[in-house]
Structure 1
Amino acid sequence: MNIAFFLLPKKDVIYLNINSTMRQAMERMKFHRYTSVPIIDNEGKYVGVLTEGDLLWKMKNTPGLTFMNTKKIPLSEIERHTSHNPVQVDAQMEDLFSYAAEQNFVSVVDDKGIFIGIVRRSEIIRYCLAILNPPRYYTTATIKDRIPDEIFSY
């Protein structure tokens, strides 16, 4: 099945611009309680994913860096330690299975590399569960038709 059915569009996704600061990233991730967020450039193209680990490594490897002066560090100066490759919007859900094992979401781009949204791990898992546990029966009956009449008598 095409991933477009499961896409959370860009307008509903928390993401960062590559020119944002480390401080902005930390505050936004804390506020939304996210451990990672997509990064885009000024043209809207997908750049990668920033993780809490990337921020921690920058703090650890930058002598004298304090929370107060993180506002001086652009995200472009933060090394990303994990590569999160995006998928094209015409990808199939089965293409995302291996991604789901490693990351909370998969970034989706159009054919020009423009970030258009994400597919969450939870959606990938639900899709897998539906394949593994299909409905045992199909019916066109309404709910009322399946509930005994005495429940609806007053």
Structure 2
Amino acid sequence: MKVAFFLTPKNEIVCENIDATMRQVLEKMEYHRYSAIPLIDKEGRYVATITEGDILWELKNKADLTFKETNKIFIKDIPKYVKNRAVSINADIEDLLDLVSNQNFVPVVDDNDVFIGIVKRSDVINYCYKNLVKIESTE
């Protein structure tokens, strides 16, 4: 089974450009109620994932920072404490399982390393659960 089976395409998820400001990312995360979003560059390649934790650490380290000033801080300059690795669309499920066990979502890239979507951990777990139930009901 290939990663593509679990793909949620880019047009159905929220991501942000690496050149965005902290304020833009905060507002997007708040609006969509996400705790992490993928970051892409202007060529559409996956760069990193920004998390609420990354932003909170940045706020802690800049105690005098006001919300208004967050439009002066670029996301690319904020340290990322969790390194979410991407997987190729051509990868097998085995390649995905190790990543999805440690990440809420796994970014997916095409043959040119262009970001094309994500695989959500919940989708993989639900698939495994349904197959486990199916197996148990036939025994």
TM-score using structure 2 length: 0.91
Deviates more, 1:48-57 or 1:100-109: 100-109
- 1:117 maps to 117
Q: Render the CA deviation track for 1:103-140: whole Å, top value 9, x for unaligned.
A: 21110001221100001111110222234333535xxx
Structure 2 gap segments, 5+ residues each: none
Aligned CA-pair RMSD: 1.4
1:56-135, aligned counterparts within 5 Å?
Answer: 56-135=56-135
Q: Distance in 2 between matches of 1:70 and 1:38?
A: 19
CA drift of 1:81 comes to 0.5
Q: Distance in 2 between matches of 1:127 and 1:8?
A: 14
CA drift of 1:15 comes to 0.1
Query: Which secondary structure state, in structure 2, belongs to the residue aligned with residue 38 of structure 1?
Result: strand
CA drift of 1:67 comes to 1.0
Q: Distance in 1 between matches of 2:99 and 2:48?
A: 14
* Matched length: 137
CA drift of 1:92 comes to 2.1
Does structure 2 conserve the Cα–Cα contact (< 8 Å) formed by 1:38 and 1:49? yes
Deviates more, 1:124-133 or 1:40-49: 124-133
- 1:41 maps to 41
Q: Render the CA deviation track for 1:6-36: whole Å, top value 9, x for unaligned.
A: 1111111100000111001011101111000
Q: Distance in 2 between matches of 1:113 and 1:60?
A: 34
Give percent identity, aligned residues only: 47
Deviates more, 1:24-33 or 1:98-107: 98-107
TM-score using structure 1 length: 0.83
Does structure 2 conserve the Cα–Cα contact (< 8 Å) formed by 1:21 and 1:75? yes
Which of 1 and 2 has higher RCO (CA within 8 Å, sep 6+)?
A: 2
Q: Distance in 1 between matches of 2:32 and 2:103?
A: 17
Query: Which secondary structure state, in structure 2, belongs to the residue aligned with residue 71 of structure 1?
Result: helix
